[in-house]
């Protein structure tokens, strides 16, 4: 039995509320169980310097946690004067993941920055950030298309992410903190709406895992991503 009472293949309740920020070109609040992330998309007409004159656009991301997103207060990274290695790794993952679903030629020489701010953390914050970040990106691109700034849609597919792991000897999907902290194997799966893999992060936290177990986790992830994509579509209707 999982601590939450869910079955092995059961996702946490998912909700995505759009248009939660007045000034951002795209925004949403994604809730995956008790993990809540505020995602916003900001459009800049100028691309990064290394892309000047290439005709290519760029999608990047920034990630952060509010001090009381967890059960004890964490110091703001700004107060410490630097980002942690964990923060840098997560925001690079979000950026890579979202770029995989974008035709950068069709986007043109502009940059879209996705800000992901964790309001409440209960495991899977990076996965929620990717899933919600895609919705914010989609809304921002819709504005460019609606204004006639873009003539073709640069978004080629949905992008979503889910965690899977081996908990108490069983493969499970969408780990909350209680499971994540005790999992023998932990992984994050990023996929497109068509089921193509973008990135897989897997590690043996307390016990090695077999190829067969890896396959079971991938099956769980694929089904979970399907549910997340359905939630994305519902939020955008």
pLDDT for 126: 97
> Torsion over CA of 122, 84, 25 and 148, rounded to 10 degrees?
-120
Domain ranges of the chain: 14-235
- Can you read off the two tokens belonging to residue 67? 């001090």
pLDDT tens readout for residues 64-103:
999 999 999 988 888 888 888 999 999 999 999 999 999 9
Question: In whole angstroms, what is the distance from residue 201 CA to residue 60 CA?
Answer: 19
**Residues 190 and 97 sit within 8 Å (Cβ to Cβ):** yes
Q: Model pTM greater than 0.75?
A: yes
- Which residues does residue 167 pair with via DSSP β-bridges, in sequence order? 170
Helix (H) or strand (E) holding 231, with range, is helix 211-236
The CA-atom distances, in angstroms, between 129 and each of 6, 140, 190, 205 are 22, 16, 11, 23
Classify domain 14-235 at the CATH class level. Answer: alpha beta
**Residues 133 and 59 sit within 8 Å (Cβ to Cβ):** no
Question: In whole angstroms, what is the distance from residue 52 CA to residue 1 CA?
Answer: 54
Q: What percent of the chain has pLDDT over 70?
A: 100
**pLDDT greater than 80 at residue 206:** no
35 is in an annotated binding site: no
pLDDT for 77: 87
pLDDT for 118: 98
Give the residue from 211, 201, 217, 178 showing the smallest Cα distance to 8. 217
Q: Which sign does the torsion angle of CA 118, 119, 124, 127 carry? A: negative
pLDDT for 205: 79
**Residues 185 and 213 sit within 8 Å (Cβ to Cβ):** yes
86 is in an annotated binding site: yes
What average pLDDT does range 9-33 have in this prediction?
Answer: 98
């Amino acid at each position: 039995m999982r601590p939450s009472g869910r079955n092995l293949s059961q996702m946490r309740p998912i909700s995505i509320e759009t248009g939660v920020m007045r000034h951002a070109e795209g925004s949403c609040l994604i809730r995956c169980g008790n993990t809540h992330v505020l995602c916003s998309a900001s459009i800049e007409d100028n691309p990064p310097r290394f892309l000047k004159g290439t005709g290519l656009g760029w999608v990047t991301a920034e990630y952060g946690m509010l001090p009381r997103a967890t059960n004890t207060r964490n110091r703001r990274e700004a107060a410490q004067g630097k980002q942690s290695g964990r923060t840098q790794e997560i925001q690079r993952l979000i950026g890579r993941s979202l770029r995989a679903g974008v035709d950068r030629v069709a986007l043109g020489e502009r940059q879209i920055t996705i800000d992901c701010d964790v309001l409440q953390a209960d495991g899977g914050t990076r996965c929620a950030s990717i899933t919600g970040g895609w919705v914010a990106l989609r809304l921002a691109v819709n504005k460019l298309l609606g204004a006639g700034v873009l003539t073709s849609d640069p978004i080629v597919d949905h992008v979503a992410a889910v965690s899977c792991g081996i908990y108490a000897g069983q493969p499970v999907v969408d780990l909350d903190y209680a499971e994540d902290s005790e999992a023998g194997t932990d992984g994050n799966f990023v996929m497109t709406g068509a089921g193509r893999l973008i990135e897989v992060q897997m590690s043996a936290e307390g016990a090695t895992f077999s190829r067969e177990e890896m396959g079971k986790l991938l099956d769980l992830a694929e089904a979970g991503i399907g549910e997340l994509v359905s939630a994305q579509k519902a939020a955008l209707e």
